[in-house]
Amino acid sequence: MDYFIKPGDTLGKLATRFGSSVRKLVALNGVQDPNRIIAGLTLKVGGDTNQVQGGAGRFAAYQGMAGAGRTSSQGPIPAAEAALAWQQSQLEAGNSYENYCLRFVRLAFEQAGTPIPGLTGKGSAANAMAGYEAAGRLNPMDPNEPPPKGAIVFWPATESNGGYGHIAISNGDGTCSTSGWPGFGGDPRAAISWLNGAEGVSTAGWAIP
């Protein structure tokens, strides 16, 4: 059984809720630090530890990529580098994907070999954001720490974005790789604070794809 980690969750609370133990949850998921789990990721809360190899896939891989020199203490998510590199190549080729931010993000992860079901068939960034929010997977922005590299960042629907919202991929350093900004000369790095002004509203939050 899988569970989407929400802000405020701890292994102790989840062990009690699901009739398990902290030790078993650590073994099931390859948790490196039992005192710190990451909101937005999927945690296995049931199953046979003998059938688990190397933890619960995305959770274990995500934790394992954190390390010294990262601009976000959580480290990049899997496929982040490939997705961001594809976006960079598109912008350098003059394909800005203006007004198609959701497609720009969705295709980036598809090209990186990691399709994201939560971005498919949503029609707009605002609809995709609503899906993550309904699932409890939308994390609030932390002014002291940017979203990890490869996380998807959402802006709500406003008049400035035609009511469609906006979505971009975090670079892990307070900037995002974003569509529709040819003025950057092929460099898709836009400060999240700058985008807040361009969209006419602050970010609604971020999620692990």
Q: Residues spanned by CATH 3.10.350.10 within the chain?
A: 2-64
Tell me, what's the pLDDT at 39? 65
Tell me, what's the pLDDT at 71? 34
Where is 91: in which H helix or E strand? helix 80-92
CATH number of 2-64: 3.10.350.10
- Looking at 3.40.50, 2.20.28, 3.30.450, 3.90.1720, the CATH number of the domain 80-207 comes to 3.90.1720
CA distance 202 to 67: 29
pLDDT in tens, 70-104: 234 455 677 889 999 999 888 888 888 988 999 99
Residue 180 contacts residue 96 (beta carbons within 8 Å): yes
**Torsions phi, psi of 25, nearest 5?**
-65, -35
Q: Residues spanned by CATH 3.90.1720 within the chain?
A: 80-207
Say what the pTM is: 0.69
Sign of dihedral through CA atoms 200, 204, 207, 209?
Answer: negative
pLDDT in tens, the chain (209 residues): 778 777 678 889 999 998 999 989 888 887 877 887 766 667 888 765 444 433 344 455 445 433 322 234 455 677 889 999 999 888 888 888 988 999 999 999 999 988 888 888 788 999 999 998 888 888 888 878 888 889 999 999 988 888 999 999 999 888 898 887 554 444 557 888 878 877 778 899 999 88
Tell me, what's the pLDDT at 8? 76
Tell me, what's the pLDDT at 137? 84
Tell me, what's the pLDDT at 79? 86
**Torsions phi, psi of 151, nearest 5?**
-70, 155
Tell me, what's the pLDDT at 184? 45
Distances (CA, A) of 52 to 22, 27, 34, 44, 49: 16, 8, 18, 10, 5
Tell me, what's the pLDDT at 76? 63
